[in-house]
Structure 1
Amino acid sequence: MNVFWGVLEASLMGTIGILLFCIISFTLKKRCQIEYKKIVWLLIALRLLVPIHITLLPLPLSIEVPNYILRGSSEWNNSQKTTASAKILEPINNSDAVQHWTTNHLVFFIWITGCFIACAYYFAAYLITYKKLMCRSTENVKPQIREIYRTAAEELKIKRLPEIRIMEDTDGSPFIIGLLKNRVFLPDKDYLEQDLYYIIRHELIHCMNKDSWFKVILLLANIMHWFNPSVWIMRRLAEQDMELICDSRVLEFASQEERKEYSEVILSHIQAGNRRYSVLSSGYIQKTNFIKRRFQNIFSTEQKKKETSTVILMIALLLLSGVFLSIRGSIAMYPKSRIPIESGLEVKTDVDGDGSTERVYVKDVVSGTDAFTQVVAQFDDGDTVFIDYPDYWSSYIISGDLSESGKADIVLVRYSIGSTFGAAEVSVIYMEDRSFKEYSSQFIKNPSIEAEQPDNFSSDNWALSCLGAAIIEKDGKNMLRLILNEDIQNDVVKCIDCSYRQDGWYIESLQIISNYYSENKEKELLNQ
């Protein structure tokens, strides 16, 4: 299901690219050749077809929007542990989590259904049209047509000639269809020699430019992003530019009189051709606005610049604007965490975010009457960083990216000496400038939760004791799970799942768990 959130992000980026490119095209329409526009349309379509995060800058521009549930799952190296944890957590998910799950899957189902329907429709339309055309056309072509066909092909230096067929339809317009094997279809009517030359040359240029494949890429992007109106607009504009390119190539060295003749040929077929052929064919587009634009292009003799600097400028602006950059937020998928969730007395993890792993371990030190816990990080360059916590032993650590900073946070669980019910102290620390620092233990209360919510999980909060902690993956993000004392004498605890915010830990869910000790639930809840 995470694929959809990648598609959604690509769709947002594609929309930015389409809008920006339309602005750039309008600004530079008299300065560059239209062939360059086709290159950029192709790049945008390819980006739309790649639903993954692609960043081309060291510090990609990002748009921050409020966090919600549409986020990418973390990539854990200990995948078996993740699967087990997901199964264990399922019975205690609250109604909000179930609703989030249902909403996510419903949205994914709607999207994939739309893709399937669109794909089935276009594929069926193509097959039906192709079969009808083959049945209602013939290879018996007049010698005059074949001679002009060969002449036009020689001028364009086409060695492998597409098959040419004559349709029974006399009111249609010429077009080309096929992917691996192109076929040119002409209506069964009498043509003037010059008109026929223009028609055939136009269709052969489509073959040379691989326009059938260009239309396939546009169509696939349109199917994948059927919900995005800007992609439909992109496809229409790109296909129009494709026709303008063919017109320009046909009239490359034409006089004004020849341009007039060519426009009359186009106009006659636009007026006669009322039938719609397959979306993968190249025909005469009959939109009124485009016909006007097409004639303006035909009669324009202004030489456009052939410098590649213009298209490079276009592409650079698109890239820098965010077409290939990531958006962070509620409707975009977060970059998958490369920090695995691990626990024990020692872990290998990336605490400074440089891409390499450091040895991080915990040791309980007893010296005479003093006892304290020490967390140590050892770097490859020999540097050692540590932080001490007094008066505790029987400790362990858990590593994972809770703050989504790209580096590991360390949860230290320290069990009290002499505790009869397993009381613990929990601290969450992180590395900054080769020094351990501690996150706040303050809770941010959730207004949608009716149960009483604690203020913090600090060791100074004597009214509340921790019984354990874990890092879990839930709703597509890493959360801190805390087991807190509710009524130990009656074997009742609170299970709080919270996510990191800059000003504290936001309580995502709160569960009252009965029979915590008697049914050994700590092993399930803490994934021990």
Structure 2
Amino acid sequence: MEQLFLSVIDMSLMGSYAILFIIFIRFPLKKAPKGISYSLWSVAAVRLMCPYALECMFSLFPAKALSGSEALLFQQEPQSYRAFDMVHNFGTETAVVSPSGGLNLLQFYTKAGAYLWLLGVAVMLIYSIASVWILKRQLKSAENIQYNIYVADNLKTPFVLGILNPKIYLPAGLTEEEKSYIILHEQIHIRRLDPAIKSFGFIILSVHWFNPLVWIAFWLMSTDMELSCDEKVINIIGRDLKKAYSYSLLSLASHRHILNGNPLAFGEGNVKHRIKNVLNYTKPEFWVIAIALVAALVIGAGLLLNPVQKEKLEPMAANWSSEQSLGADMAVLDYASEDKVIFHGYFGLYVYDLEQLNIIRSLDLQAIGCGATQGDDYCEVSVSMDGDIVQLHPMSSQSMYIYRVSANQLIKTSYKPMKNSFLSKMVSVEEAVSEERGNYAYDAVKFAAGEYGVLYTSDWTLSTLTYIRGKDMLYALFDSKK
């Protein structure tokens, strides 16, 4: 659960940046149709609920944006601390010790925060469900005047209740003209799926209840929803009836009844702002709409993309010399894809980027007691199918280490066999090469195209360790000049 909580913090931080950007851009879009501002909130929703995004140089996010989990788990330590000593525990029974030997208080606060966050989510959802249940009980006496339209005596404002089968509820005492305008307004809400959109927005708010910017975004999104719906009504009934429509809104504001909408059965709030917007509304010129649409598309795309991370985390230092012998067991190929290779030996574990042509991660296996390649202390290495999780298990221990490549993060936990590991794609090197195995590693990777990936060395030293993909692609894994 702690990992989920940290992921939510990541999304909340990225979403907060998107929210601030949208709030800022709403001012120059003031003269544009409110539907454009309303649509931009979908971008914030994606950033708040989706932890992944494509990288692009046109991203509007800062190039050095730090994720929440990195900020929590990798606070600056004295330079003498080695990265592989930063061991964290996520809900396991394993005792965790910081480099100085003390209890990891940061992890305790993370777990406490996770439980508090979950409690807040539960309170928000229970509140919304209870509100709908109470509201439905109080609306039992509402009179059905046609199809899905009801009139109730104890309403303060009209609203739509329901998602799959939405019903329109109106206050009693409205004139026929007022009813026609308000029903049209609510029907536009239903056609645009606004009840479902606002309900989904409330779920997002429930997940990020601790973030005040998300509360502001929910309120502004609701405002833009109403204003854009009002503009749609004016475009349908004609601008000559703006005053009549405004009077119907003013009539609602003058009533003082018992019931109001709740987060899921939303009513028509902020009447003063809506009346002002209706009276001042003039259909924008075509060029204004075109510029606003282009700006919204560019901004939306820029906020949906992550910046290209040019700077990599410093690898966990595994010391080596270019002339270091690989030993009788050679190096072990653990994973290979289109963009990276993972291999290990008693000399350490390495992640090689096939695009950068460089080692981007390294781990000192000796330092965590997982450097043996045979015997009772043999270290079992398993890699996930996506190459992001490396599981290291000293066979004589009941514990294991989980290394997350993307986060450069090492976790100590109780041993559990990895399910669906990359081992299923490994074959014997005899299948990959026709000649005698000789200087090749024992195992090879078989790709869907029928090609093989193998490790090779000409003199059994790190300086000549090479990854070969097919017949023509060769990658020198270690620069002998280092």
Asked whether the 8 Å contact 2:10–2:67 carries over to 1, the reply is: no
Alignment-derived partner of residue 117 in structure 1: 123
Alignment-derived partner of residue 258 in structure 1: 241
Structure 1 residues 206 and 298, CA gap change in structure 2 (3 angstroms): farther
Alignment-derived partner of residue 276 in structure 2: 295
Alignment-derived partner of residue 70 in structure 1: 73
Query: Aligned-pair distance for 1:214?
Result: 1.1
For these two proteins, the number of residue pairs brought into alignment is 340
Alignment-derived partner of residue 295 in structure 2: 313
Partners of 2:14 and 2:90 lie apart in 1 by: 34
Higher-Rg structure is 1
Structure 1 residues 346 and 262, CA gap change in structure 2 (3 angstroms): same
Alignment-derived partner of residue 11 in structure 2: 10
Partners of 1:103 and 1:85 lie apart in 2 by: 12
TM-score (norm 2): 0.60
Aligned residue identity for 2:165? K
Alignment-derived partner of residue 362 in structure 2: 409
User: Where do 5+ consecutive residues of structure 2 fail to align?
Assistant: 76-86, 317-326, 353-357, 368-398, 413-482
Q: Secondary structure of the equivalent of 1:27? A: coil
What is the aligned counterpart of 1:182 among 162, 166, 174? 166
TM-score (norm 1): 0.55
Greater percentage in strand = 1
Structure 1 residues 84 and 119, CA gap change in structure 2 (3 angstroms): closer
Query: Aligned-pair distance for 1:248?
Result: 1.1
Alignment-derived partner of residue 264 in structure 2: 280
Alignment-derived partner of residue 240 in structure 1: 223
| Equivalence map 1:510-521=2 (5 Å) | none
Structure 1 residues 59 and 398, CA gap change in structure 2 (3 angstroms): farther
Query: Aligned-pair distance for 1:12?
Result: 1.2
Structure 1 residues 401 and 106, CA gap change in structure 2 (3 angstroms): farther
Structure 1 residues 397 and 240, CA gap change in structure 2 (3 angstroms): same
Query: Aligned-pair distance for 1:236?
Result: 0.7
Structure 1 residues 95 and 271, CA gap change in structure 2 (3 angstroms): farther
Q: Secondary structure of the equivalent of 2:104? A: helix
Alignment-derived partner of residue 422 in structure 1: none
Structure 1 residues 273 and 71, CA gap change in structure 2 (3 angstroms): farther
Query: Aligned-pair distance for 1:53?
Result: 3.0
Aligned residue identity for 1:124? A
Aligned residue identity for 2:56? L
Aligned residue identity for 1:407? I
Deviations 1:336-374 (A, max 9, x none): x9xxxxx975222579x972326666xxxxxxxxxxxxx
Structure 1 residues 120 and 406, CA gap change in structure 2 (3 angstroms): farther
Partners of 1:83 and 1:8 lie apart in 2 by: 18
Identity over aligned pairs, percent: 20
Asked whether the 8 Å contact 1:350–1:407 carries over to 2, the reply is: no
Alignment-derived partner of residue 163 in structure 1: 148
Partners of 1:84 and 1:407 lie apart in 2 by: 24
Query: Aligned-pair distance for 1:267?
Result: 0.6
Partners of 1:84 and 1:232 lie apart in 2 by: 32
Query: Aligned-pair distance for 1:204?
Result: 1.1
Please give the root-mean-square deviation of Cα atoms over the aligned residues, in Å: 4.2
What is the aligned counterpart of 1:348 among 333, 339, 355? 333
Asked whether the 8 Å contact 1:345–1:397 carries over to 2, the reply is: no
User: Where do 5+ consecutive residues of structure 1 fail to align?
Assistant: 73-81, 147-161, 329-333, 338-342, 362-395, 415-469, 482-528
What is the aligned counterpart of 1:131 among 133, 137, 155? 137
Alignment-derived partner of residue 201 in structure 2: 218
Query: Aligned-pair distance for 1:188?
Result: 2.7
Partners of 1:412 and 1:91 lie apart in 2 by: 18
Partners of 1:284 and 1:87 lie apart in 2 by: 49
